[in-house]
Amino acid sequence: MKKIFLKTISFCWVVIFLMATATSLEKKDHPRKEYRESPGTCSMENTAFQDGERITYKLFYNWKFVWIAAGEVTFKVKDMGDQFHISAVGRTYKSYDPFFRVRDRYECYIDKETLLPSVALREVEEGKYRLYDKVTFDRQQQKIKSLRGKSLEVAKEAEYEMESCIHDILSIIYYARNIDFNEMKAGDKIPVNLFMDKEVWPLNVTYKGKQEKKRIKGNGKFRTMQFSPELIAGEYFTDGTEMNVYVSDDKNRVPLIIESPLSVGSMKAVLKKYDGLKYEMDADL
């Protein structure tokens, strides 16, 4: 149970679970798909977030009808001149630490003009597992440069070919919050190319339309847009597993709740608190 909860991420807004999953893709053999270039994802104007934004989610795992609160993850945005510094820090609660302790930090620098990443960093502590992973996106040379190992002291350098429209697991969240969904209809797919764990993962998010009254525990009811990110079948997700992400239907486009069944049990991330939003939250009813 503990390992399933703490290693379940797919992509995009599901990164709310990213503190627990970044290692799962490299530890199991999964079928890879061919890389596809997505010209529409190469540049995006930011209208959805700003310096000082801070959003916290509470993470739950369901086992035999019992919801267990296991930890939290907080996302922050900081203005760095021509870039935004995005960070996400996740940790299990002290009451959960004896089962499986997590102290993870993710960071990313994204260009203000394009919202594409320039540098991404992961420092992972999950049980006995450790990972230091720094990725530099050199867009002039079309190279991805990696410094990766159990720690910075033993990390090894590697280099990968890069197409232009590549995101990391943090930048894609903030990019996606700026997509114009007004012209989309239910069933439309959004392609995303994500670099993570030495691989390019070409994935899709399906837009499922609007839901006018979605209850978010502790926050009331919201007008939302619903999405279903594509999952990778393997140890934690079975074929046909559907994850649902509900995002505020306002200018902020804040992920409110993520729900997904697993091969055993289910998981959920729920908005706990927020401040520093670019706009007043007006999706709540």
Reference 15, options 203, 149, 163; nearest CA is 203
**Which residues on adjacent β-strands are paired with residue 143?**
138, 161
DSSP state of 12: G
Confidence at residue 5, expressed as pLDDT on a 0 to 100 scale: 36
Confidence category of residue 282, pLDDT binned at 50, 70, 90: very high
* CB distance 192 to 169 below 8 Å: no
User: Could you read off the pLDDT of 74-132 as tens digits, one per residue?
Assistant: 999 999 999 999 999 988 899 888 877 889 999 999 999 999 999 999 998 888 889 99
Least confident of 57-71, 125-139, 176-190, 265-279: 57-71
Averaged pLDDT, 231-242: 52
Averaged pLDDT, 215-231: 87
* CB distance 19 to 75 below 8 Å: no
User: Could you read off the pLDDT of 172-182 as tens digits, one per residue?
Assistant: 889 989 988 88
* Mean pLDDT of the chain, nearest integer: 81
Helices (H), the chain: 2-6, 24-27, 171-176
What is the DSSP secondary-structure string of 151-216?
Answer: SGGG-EEEEEE--SS-B-TTHHHHHHTT---TT--TT-EEEEEEEETTEEEEEEEEEEEEEEEEEE
Confidence at residue 99, expressed as pLDDT on a 0 to 100 scale: 79
d(CA 22, CA 18): 6
